[in-house]
Amino acid sequence: MKLPLKSRLTRHDDFSIIKKCGKKVISEGIVYYIYRNNKNISRLAVVVSRKFGNAVLRNRVKRLFREAFRNHSKEFNEFFDVIIIPQKEMLRKCHLVYISIEKHFLSALVKSKVI
């Protein structure tokens, strides 16, 4: 199932505000920027650099994070904007399976008091 268009961060202005004012959490080679929004929906962006790996690997990581977000966004205390930036070192620390990605995603959300 796809992440709805309303749940995606796409505007450059939104990225700038979230990176500037949001809370930065670094966990297992993944950088999270989390910012409370005043909209009625939580939104997500996953930014994966070409340095991370080939297109298949980058797209798989994006799909796994979007799925984890889609499954757990209803558990958030409030509405948040989340930017996820996986680093290449993440490949050494966690496997690219949904359970592993979900575990890292949830631990970062708990650390930042979103859940």
Distance, in Å, from the CA atom of 69 to the CA atom of 30, rounded to the nearest integer, reads 15
User: What pLDDT is attached to residue 28?
Assistant: 84
Percent of residues, the chain, with pLDDT higher than 90 = 76
Decide if pLDDT at 5 tops 80: yes
Decide if pLDDT at 20 tops 80: yes
* Tokens 């984890």, located at residue: 68
Instruction: Report yes or no: 62 and 98 within 8 Å, Cβ to Cβ.
Output: no
For residue 103 the two structure tokens come to 């575990």
Tell me how far CA of residue 49 lies from CA of 43, 52, 88, 114, in angstroms. 20, 6, 9, 26
Is CATH 2.60.120.10 the classification given to domain 23-111?
A: no
pLDDT digits (tens, 9 = 90+) for 78-101: 999 999 999 988 888 778 899 999
Three-class DSSP category at 8: strand
H/E element, 46: strand 43-46
Domain boundaries, the chain: 23-111
Mean pLDDT of the 44-67 span:
94
Give the pairing type, strands 43-46 and 30-36. Answer: unpaired
With cut-offs at 50, 70 and 90, classify the pLDDT of residue 25: very high
User: What pLDDT is attached to residue 96?
Assistant: 84
